[in-house]
Structure 1
Amino acid sequence: MSEGAVLVYSVKLMRQILERHEASERHVGPGYLNVHDVKVPGGRVALAGGFGIGGPAAATAMEEMVGAGARRIVSIGGAGGLHPAQTIGDLVVCDRAVRDEGVSYHYLPPDERYVRPDAALTARLLEAVEQRADGVVAGGTWTTDAPYRETREEVLHYRAEGVLTVEMEAASLAAVALHRGVEFATAFAVMDSLAEESWRPEGLGHPDAVAALNILFDAAAAVLV
């Protein structure tokens, strides 16, 4: 299996990637992972999906991929925007994640509030995304295990800290990567918004959001080969 791997959460995204690229299926782990060896410009990357959402599912998938030989891993998925100016399909490259979940505390000491992806791989990913899209930003994310329990007070608190998005996997995956000694980076497409008084989910599955995820895959592949 390729040493470079991409983790995805959207079934639609995975289907589109496999339609756009020559790929062959690979068996990894106990069978719940859907893994393909994908031919991309300059080489091949492993593409993993079908494992669900959230920190425990993503961390388990990463463990299986590392066990199969992955050494550089990029996670791409959707996130909720915390700022009113964000629009559906905006791209964010993560430089730190708030540990408001459980998995990271099984891998790292509890004293650090943030966990950070690999700086060098993140810088390369940011550059690759910027080459393919306008308005890309780098910043923090808030990782939570309870996507239906965010409060207005939390949104305002994290926004004041400069956190840009909320999602369910980044802190967990960064912690596993640090523990296992592999390179990790992650980026998101804004799919919904918590910036106003109520949740705005209209971007879930929106064509602009899915197109943005495809841009992230192309950028991830470019830095992993």
Structure 2
Amino acid sequence: MTDTQNDAIINPVKGKKAPNLGPVAVMVSSETDLRFISGLMNLEGNNFTNLAMSKLYTGDDDLGNFSAVGPLVGAPYAAILLEPLIAWGAQKIIFFGWCGAISHDIKIGDIIIPSGAVIDEGTSKHYNADESEIAKPSPHIVEKTKDALRKRDITFREGVIWSTDAIYRETREKVEDFQTKNVLAVDMELSALFTVGKFRNVEVGAVLVVSDELSTFKWNPGFKNERFKQSRVAVTEVIHSLCQAI
């Protein structure tokens, strides 16, 4: 460990009652998606640990030892969950969340593989992030995720995401600026997750589904859109197979 990793007064540790986690963990923003993916991974039932305000499902199956945690929202809380996951044994983390379209080419229900995240949240700077740079995911997880989607003939887009804490300050000026920089969509967690992963020397990747659109500067919510629902189911199935591949 570097000195900067040892200088905190409070550090993530593995307590006596903490579960032993396998190398792969899935972080899921939505409770509905968490329940679905936990079922696919045979992690349903009462076999969970309370982790902050979320549930951490653990278990063993014939294909490996996985865990899944959620729901979660926002960069600070995402980091609060990621830290103990790493301390308890996770080394490869997949985040599954929702995002709002910024690009005119991105629509509700589209699936995005983030190649990076603009840092516009307050957590990353505490993990030595250069906020002028793009936070990056694990190249290995990105490639494996794309392979898993292609094997199922699922269309996806790849590109940069804007991560912000302030959903009520997504202004026209900011959206226009990010459109000129070819940013695809906006979320609340990714840049922090990628930054913490780099700081702790673990692999973090992500899959996002577009839940709403901001590209026309008028909010278009799509939370009840059928394509949005279908894409989420498809992504959970892909992540299940991905956990076995990475």
Provide TM-score, normalisation by structure 2.
0.83
Distance 1:152 1:135 in 2: 29
Residues 40 and 190 (structure 1), Cα distance of their counterparts in 2 relative to 1, 3 Å cut:
farther
Secondary structure in 1 aligned to 2:220? coil
**Which residue does 1:27 correspond to in 2?**
49
Find 1:16's aligned residue among 30, 36, 52: 36
**Which residue does 1:105 correspond to in 2?**
125
Quote how far apart the aligned CAs of 1:125 are.
Answer: 1.1
**Which residue does 2:70 correspond to in 1?**
49
Alpha carbons 1:77, 1:213 under 8 Å: kept: no
Task: State yes or no: 1:89 paired with 2:101.
Answer: no
- C-alpha root-mean-square deviation of aligned residues, in Å? 2.0
Residues 41 and 186 (structure 1), Cα distance of their counterparts in 2 relative to 1, 3 Å cut:
farther
Quote how far apart the aligned CAs of 1:97 are.
Answer: 0.4
Pairing 1:35-184 to 2, within 5 Å after superposition:
35-37=56-58, 42-50=63-71, 52-110=72-130, 112-184=132-204
Secondary structure in 2 aligned to 1:86? coil
Residues 20 and 118 (structure 1), Cα distance of their counterparts in 2 relative to 1, 3 Å cut:
closer
Identity of aligned residues (%): 27
**Which residue does 1:193 correspond to in 2?**
213
Deviations 1:120-160 (A, max 9, x none): 21111122123234331110000000011111121121111
Task: State yes or no: 1:216 paired with 2:238.
Answer: no
Deviations 1:34-87 (A, max 9, x none): 01126678334211013x300001111100111111000010110001122322
Higher relative contact order (CA 8 A, sep 6+): 1
Distance 1:198 1:97 in 2: 23
Secondary structure in 1 aligned to 2:152? coil
Alpha carbons 2:37, 2:237 under 8 Å: kept: no
Residues 40 and 152 (structure 1), Cα distance of their counterparts in 2 relative to 1, 3 Å cut:
farther
Distance 1:80 1:161 in 2: 16
Q: Which runs of 5+ in 2 are unaligned?
A: 1-20
Aligned residue identity for 2:195 = A
Alpha carbons 2:163, 2:191 under 8 Å: kept: yes
Distance 2:32 2:225 in 1: 11
Alpha carbons 2:161, 2:186 under 8 Å: kept: yes
Distance 2:54 2:171 in 1: 33
Distance 1:111 1:84 in 2: 26
Provide TM-score, normalisation by structure 1.
0.90
Aligned residue identity for 1:208 = R
Runs of 4+ in structure 1 over 4 Å off: 38-41
